[in-house]
Amino acid sequence: MTASNRPRDESRIRLDSTAHLMDSISSQRPGPPALVLVAHGSRDPRALHTVRALMERVRRLRPAVPVRVGHIELNEPLLPDALAALGTAPAVLVPLLLTHGHHVKRDIPEAVAAAAPHVRVAAPLGPHPLLVDTLYARLVAAGWRTRTTEATRRGSGVVLAAAGSRDPGSAVDTRRTAGLLADRLGVPVVPAYASAATPTVPAALSALAAGGRHRIAVASCFTAPGRFATQCAEQAPWIASAPLGAHPAMARLVLHRYDQALTPATTEPELASA
């Protein structure tokens, strides 16, 4: 090797060594925590299909984040099995639930405490403006007119049909979602429940009709198709929207809750005045 070639070769060796070191550091850097969607579970096969579609949409929005699912009941993998599969890897559980009910307050935290202390639990999906965006889009798709006369609005109303819970906090959240949707639509929105709480959907429909509202839609506040969603839709005197499903706003909301859990804030600014 000539003296003129030696500095060039040494420089190449140093560059190769630096690149190898950077690759090694990069490969050892931990990736983002996994995002585990916590679905309720259903005997209706459409529910599982919906959850999988939402998972795929979330993956497309955030390719670097591993996305998995665990069910509270009825479908596999069940949440304890999903937690066991994580090993010691960090993760964030995002409940596909719309209020702070029993599953969010008790079942999910207890499962985490028993099996996976390295896992964080995000807030449920509701109430939130992105949830209202989805409810609004589903109503419009079902036939709700975005432009109406004042007389039509005075005769219109919406029943927000939800699953229901014996936990009073759940009803508070549903009422807040109903209020946000009412602001968006410009008509009264009455929350109603398929089980465990009142008013029922028929009672809410009757209350709106007694107030002179005869053009009443049912907004389906369910994450996926199932028995309760079908039952509530069948009670609609006019139109009923589809469940929330894998709407793009729902995928963004899932990732918002994931990010919140990693960098928690004390207050949701967009809900401070709700």
Q: Report the catalytic residues.
A: 40
Q: How many CB atoms lie under 10 A from the CB of residue 81?
A: 12
Closest CA to 230 of 42, 76, 70, 37: 42
Please report, for the chain, how many H helices and E strands are present, in that order.
11, 7
| Contact yes or no for 263/79 (Cβ under 8 A) | no
Q: Which two tokens stand for residue 73?
A: 């009941």
| Contact yes or no for 55/69 (Cβ under 8 A) | yes
| Contact yes or no for 220/240 (Cβ under 8 A) | yes
Euclidean distance between the first and final Cα of the chain, in Å? 77
Q: Which two tokens stand for residue 268?
A: 């949701």
